[in-house]
Amino acid sequence: MSNHVSSAQYSAASDTPRSERFPWGGLIALAMAGFICILTETLPAGLLPQISAGLGISEALTGQLVTLYALGSLLAAIPLTTATRGWRRRPLLLLCLIGFLVFNSITAMSSNYSLTLVSRFMAGVSAGVLWGMVAGYARRMVPDPLKGRAMAVAMVGTPLALALGVPAGTFLGVAVGWRAVFGLMSLLTVLLVVWVLWKMPDYPGQQADKRLPLRKVFVMPGVRSVLMVVLTWILAHNILYTYIAPYLAESGLARRVDLVLLIFGMTSVVGIWLTGIWIDRMLRPLVLISLISFGLVSILLGIGSGQPMIIYAAVAIWGLTFGGAATLLQTAIAETAGESADVAQSMLVTVWNLAIGGGGLVGAILFETTGVRSFPWTVFILVVLGLLIAWRAKEHGFSSKKQG
């Protein structure tokens, strides 16, 4: 089943023949959709003081703009992806993009906190549906041996948004105002809608007789293994990433947070590039190497907290191995779930968002009880758990069988 995500679907999609050339135009459109999605989610974090002043509310209340977006994604991913799996793909993608256009525009113009919260929640709903369909859409554009590479291109918007988009958005927000930045996001979305109409192939949704119930997708061999690795890996990452500033302050690098995040962002872009080169031949080894390396990073951060060069090196390795995480995990679950890939992806999106929220919560508890020096060792325990699950899932989930 692992390599038959679309054999039936391709025949059904014969009205839109797939080009023999690598479909850069369509895949870059998906990457741009991901870029807009991540930037929409994270911009308020970088512009907290400006938005707080603009809406006349506290920074703590402003922070809920990020929370409501995540909540929208969390609540929408599984039910709406399941409900729309029979829809044609391009109209559904366009509907998600129009959601970003409308709700980012409302955010840019609103002076009412409650209205802004609602618009953020609805933007998150658009994101939940988008992330549920991107992987399956990308994989349907290419033949089996190129599915992983197509996924890597489609996912490159995420690290680019984090590495370049958020700092640029924060800079622009300070220079020209936060409302202008959200307006700029809407303009970018209009351009992307035109691009999708011009360059994006369309495919039919899943046939009714092939739609497995949610429970049957969840109990497919390997699906739960991948979801558990998502939970442990992303939880470990977010404990460390969310509280990197207090960890660095404790290590005497309080003034180097921007440099550390830049190193992480740049190496994560390199990581996704390397993943794109090797994923179609080496999915399982890449997952295991990434987790082992992240375990090594946690040890280095645990024992080298007073050594800036060790921290910089550890963060570089961390970025390198985390850059391809989304692509690796989404490819693994798509290979595992076969024709039910979109529903399985929506489960992954839900678990991913839970892990992000859990990282903030667990990190806060650790911060208040055992202090920041416990973070690397907590991360190490979670990574080892994820590594053991991935190691055991060699038949289904992270298969050792040759791909393609």
Contacts of 303 by beta carbon, 8 Å cutoff, 6+ apart: none
- Token pair, residue 305, equals 């907290």
Q: 189 and 246 share a domain?
A: no
Q: 333 and 203 share a domain?
A: no
Q: Is the pLDDT of residue 339 over 60?
A: yes
Q: 30 and 62 share a domain?
A: yes
What is the rounded radius of gyration, in angstroms, for the C-alpha atoms of the chain? 20
Q: 193 and 228 share a domain?
A: no
Provide the number of structural domains found in the chain: 2
Residue 15's pLDDT is 39
Q: 185 and 227 share a domain?
A: no
Distance of CA 256 to the CA centre of its chain: 26
Residue 171's pLDDT is 83
Is 2 a domain residue? no
Of 193, 209, 225, the position where a domain reaches its end is: 209
Q: 329 and 259 share a domain?
A: yes
Residue 338's pLDDT is 82
Of 176, 209, 242, the position where a domain reaches its end is: 209
pTM of the model: 0.81
Is 286 a domain residue? yes
Q: Using 50, 70 and 90 to split pLDDT, how confident is the model at 20?
A: low
Q: Do 233 and 291 form a contact (C-beta atoms < 8 A)?
A: yes
Is 400 a domain residue? no
Cα–Cα distance measured from residue 209 to residue 8, given in angstroms and rounded to the nearest whole number: 12
Q: 118 and 230 share a domain?
A: no
More confidently predicted of 45 and 196 = 196
Q: 154 and 258 share a domain?
A: no
Q: What percent of the chain has pLDDT over 70?
A: 93
- Which domain does 347 fall in, by range? 214-392
Q: Phi and psi of 403, rounded to 5°? A: -85, 170
Residue 325's pLDDT is 93
Taken in order 206, 212, 214, 216, the sign of the CA dihedral is negative
For 49-91, write each residue's pLDDT tens digit: 888 889 998 877 887 888 889 889 889 888 998 888 888 999 9
Helix extents (H) in 156-256: 157-160, 166-176, 178-199, 214-218, 223-242, 244-250
Q: 153 and 260 share a domain?
A: no
What count of other Cβ atoms lies within 10 Å of the Cβ of residue 256? 17
Q: 260 and 318 share a domain?
A: yes
What average pLDDT does range 363-390 have in this prediction? 93
Of 148, 181, 209, the position where a domain reaches its end is: 209
What count of other Cβ atoms lies within 10 Å of the Cβ of residue 55? 17
Q: Is the pLDDT of residue 346 over 80?
A: yes
Q: 201 and 68 share a domain?
A: yes
For 244-293, write each residue's pLDDT tens digit: 888 888 888 888 887 888 898 889 889 988 998 888 889 999 999 999 99
Is 169 a domain residue? yes
Tell me the CATH number at 169. Answer: 1.20.1250.20
What average pLDDT does range 143-152 have in this prediction? 86
Is 399 a domain residue? no
Q: 170 and 293 share a domain?
A: no
Is 21 a domain residue? yes
Residue 11's pLDDT is 34
Average pLDDT of the residues of the chain: 86
- Token pair, residue 396, equals 């289904």
Q: Is the pLDDT of residue 107 over 60?
A: yes
What average pLDDT does range 380-401 have in this prediction? 91
